[in-house]
A and B are shown apart, each in its own frame.
Chain A
Amino acid sequence: MTLELSHLKRRFAEYPALDDVSLEIPPGEFLALLGPSGSGKTTLLRILAGLDYPESGSVRQSGRDLLAIDARRRKVGLVFQHYALFRHLTVAENVAFGLRVRPWRARPKRADIAARVERLLQRVQLQDMAKRYPAQLSGGQRQRVALARALAVEPDLLLLDEPFGALDAQVRVSLRRWLRELHDEFGLTTVFVTHDQEEALELADRVVVMNRGRIEQIGKPDAIYQDPATPFVCEFVGRVNRIAACCEGGKLVAGGLVLGADPWDGRHDTAIAYIRPEQFIVAAPDDGEAWSVCVRRAFGAGGTVHLVLDAAALGQVLEMDIFGAERLRDTWQQGACLRIRPRHVTVFPDGIHPAAARACEPGIVASATRPMAVGP
């Protein structure tokens, strides 16, 4: 039952929405398609649903050619971003729709349909709303109706387009945990599209990061976050500090600090180093192997303190997060200076970057490089 997508291509006018996308989805997986708008993730979802077709490439499921099957026979459940509930039908009628439109021979009996609708509404905790119209429901309730409607036809594959995009922040978090539980209970293969990296990382078994119609990386949420395969993934997933570095004498250096061994054996002169805000260690005041930084601003946000630091040696601003008991120290006041060094660095080769070339010279303040890249 593994879903095999291979070499899918789709263009809209001159714009490539999908550019040679290949992907395997094992049964029962909860997969996230993550990317900015225009990355092709929704196009991919619509192709799986049968609402759009690629110019070339194939989609196969256990030997069947899925593209040859019309949307209405594909046994796919699709939840639209704006739910697309039928506004002239009640909640119960909406959920029953997929069963009622079946050809006479395949259609369950009236009583069976009613029973199944009731069971589903109970499962999505909307049994009291059966007689209401979609316009009389809240956003979260509508979303659950859309989900029940998609599940009613017992699909092989559940597709969700930005399932939480139109909801309040609070409803969003509770609803996505609930959705994950529902997925585990039904054991359905689920693919959902999102531009929210937090959502993708929290919910999915595997995340597919897409950009400009191409897959940048496929991996478990941890791998995506800790070991991004491309600079794009690094900058798109989570917040990150972007630092110019240079390769010199087999070492990678930034702002006078050795970040590690040169991974390319001198093939590149300059590099970009990415450090996540939580990947800094506070070093001892007399520690030479650290950057000297001063606190420009500190934001306390509950369990975390976000610091904005001036790093003179790098000629740029760094962002750093402090958690747990550490955050209670009073060093984090504005104007305080301390020494820090990164615990984990992700590096990518860079083209000719003047700031990076200068980063080799120890202690010399490079001209202002680009400010740190923050996730969208």
Chain B
Amino acid sequence: MNAVVLPRTSIWPRRLQRALLILIAVAFMLVFLLLPLAVVFTEALAKGVQTFVAAITQSGAWSSIRLTLLVAAMVVPLNLVFGVAASWAMARFEFRGKALLGALIDLPFSVSPVIAGLIYVLLFGAQGWFGPWLDAHGIRIIFAVPGLVLASIFVTLPFVARELIPLMQVQGSEDEEAARVLGANGLQMFFRVTLPNIRWALLYGVLLCNARAMGEFGAVSVVSGHIRGLTTTMPLEVEMRYNEYDYAGAFAVASLLALLALLTLAIKTLLEWRYGDELAAHAPGGR
């Protein structure tokens, strides 16, 4: 009988452990992620659907959505090109200052976004280094869309490169050399060999970059000037409405922003599900 009792006593604590760990994880997610998300949507709809619709069809809301998408549409491709170029340089070549370049790519992670915004104000603002020259040529950067783009590029700069560099270092340059010896030119090598090898990491990087570009508040807030309808992105619009005691309006825009984030997540999940087999087959060293 002992032999039967023994496993029971040894299994129970393990089951308990497992249940406890799952409970902690789920509770944490519930309190810190799902609950706020639920609050955003319930508050947005608290005063009825009509108020919600009215809040998001206001010209201010509409222009903030357009501006957010515009900034993301400019920031993401620029960072994509920069990220691929920087990763290529870091992973394929040895050069002086390589460590410095690596540190610089990581800089936006360690610098507060507010400081990033401030740097651009100091450079391109009316009293900044290039301010008078820009003014003389009628170019507006601060308190205008270019400033928003610059600040967003700064904060999202590491996302693509940091995703690609480790992968490209592990993969090495043999595939590319093989392509060259087989007669491929530079473009063929990049589009037929390099890009397919890094596409999943690139996609992750781009999605992260996009999410951050749309949600960035600090750096953008400094350079924006909060001109409603002209330089307020969605996060800024949320804050302005909140400060104006327009809670329903603030939450309505916030819910849209949350929806955009959920959409990004959905796209990522869909792609993973659609190409999951391929992803598994291409895992390094996988059979």
Interface residues of A (CB under 8 A from B): 49-51, 71-74, 76-78, 80, 82, 84, 86-89, 97-98, 101-102, 133, 135-136, 149-150, 153
Contact = CB atoms under 8 A, between A and B. Distances in A.
B287 interface: yes
Given A84-B175, A87-B282, A71 B196 contact: no
Nearest to B181: A78
Nearest to A155: B181
Consensus secondary structure, chain B interface: helix
Per CB-CB distance, the 9 closest pairs between chain A and chain B, nearest first, are A98-B182, A84-B174, A88-B196, A84-B178, A101-B184, A78-B181, A72-B183, A101-B188, A71-B180
A188 to B, nearest CB: 15
A50 B180 CA distance: 9
Given A82-B174, A133-B281, A135-B282, A101 B185 contact: yes
A49 B181 contact: yes
Interface-centre pick from A74, A76, A78 (highest chain B CB count, 10 A): A78
Given A82-B174, A135-B287, A101 B181 contact: no
Contact of A51 (B180, B185, B192, B197): B180
Contacts of A78: 177-178, 181
B138 interface: no
A88 B197 contact: yes
A72 B281 contact: no
Interface-centre pick from B177, B188, B283, B286 (highest chain A CB count, 10 A): B177
Interface of B: 174-175, 177-185, 188, 192-193, 196-197, 278, 281-283, 286-287
A187 to B, nearest CB: 21
Nearest to B176: A84
Nearest to A159: B181
Nearest to A146: B178
B72 to A, nearest CB: 28
Contacts of A135: 281-283, 286-287
A51 B183 contact: no
Contacts of A72: 180-185
Contacts of A136: 281, 287
Interface-centre pick from B179, B197, B278, B283 (highest chain A CB count, 10 A): B179
Contacts of A98: 182-183
A73 B174 contact: no
B286 A73 contact: no
B197 A87 contact: yes
A101 B176 CA distance: 13
B178 A80 contact: yes
Nearest to B284: A87
A275 B192 CA distance: 55
A72 B180 CA distance: 5
Nearest to B283: A135
Nearest to B185: A72
A153 B178 contact: no
Nearest to A135: B281
A102 B197 CA distance: 21
Contacts of B278: 88
Contacts of A76: 181
Contacts of B177: 49, 51, 71, 78, 80, 84
24 contacts: A50-B180, A50-B181, A51-B177, A51-B181, A71-B180, A72-B184, A76-B181, A77-B181, A78-B177, A78-B178, A80-B177, A82-B174, A86-B179, A87-B197, A87-B282, A97-B179, A97-B184, A101-B179, A101-B185, A101-B188, A133-B282, A135-B281, A149-B178, A150-B182
